[in-house]
Amino acid sequence: MAERTPDDAEWERIVASLRAPDTDRASEWPDIENTERDEGEPDDGDLDPEPEPARASNEPVIVWRGSSEDIDAEIERAIPDEHYVPPEPPPLPRADALTWAAWIGVIGSPLLLLIVAALGISSRLVVVVCIVGFVAGLGVLITRMGSGRDPYDSDDGAVV
């Protein structure tokens, strides 16, 4: 058998303390936890069932009197169709020619480089044009991107 270390002894002490009955409890169970069942009462695991919440007087009462299709139809008739319908979103703003050219430079330049690389064409001019187009398009998009703040808004933070 392997040599015992101080860690093994400590581990065995911890395991033994977990297996020992807990006799040094500061307090006992609350009295409400010490309930007893009647002999005829089934053991369903629920000693204190919660009462059903009160219904509003205008809430429809649905009573089941048939198959599941009947109850589905009755539910559909009893509950009015009151779901939220959001308003139509405003139309997207139309982009000008410079914005379109910038997006073509940012997206089209890497795609053109991939196509040129896949076809095995080696041209320094195409590579330079793609790099310049990407950098120029990215620069245009970044400079035209607004700060997102209204310049006439005097509010500078959250309202608590």
What is the per-residue pLDDT across 58-107, written as a single tens digit (0 to 9) for each?
A: 666 666 556 666 667 777 777 766 677 889 999 988 889 999 999 999 99
Radius of gyration of the chain (CA): 37
Length of the chain: 160
Residue 39 lies in a domain: no
Residue 133 lies in a domain: yes
Residue 134 lies in a domain: yes
Residue 112 lies in a domain: yes
Residue 81 lies in a domain: no
Residue 114 lies in a domain: yes
What domain count does the chain have?
A: 1
pLDDT band at 109, cuts 50/70/90?
Answer: very high
Q: Which runs of consecutive H residues, i.e. helices, occur in 61-123?
A: 68-78, 97-103, 109-119
Question: What pTM was estimated for this model as a whole?
Answer: 0.40
The torsion angles phi and psi of 69, rounded to 5 degrees, stand at -65, -40
Residue 127 lies in a domain: yes
Range of the structural domain that residue 112 is part of: 97-144
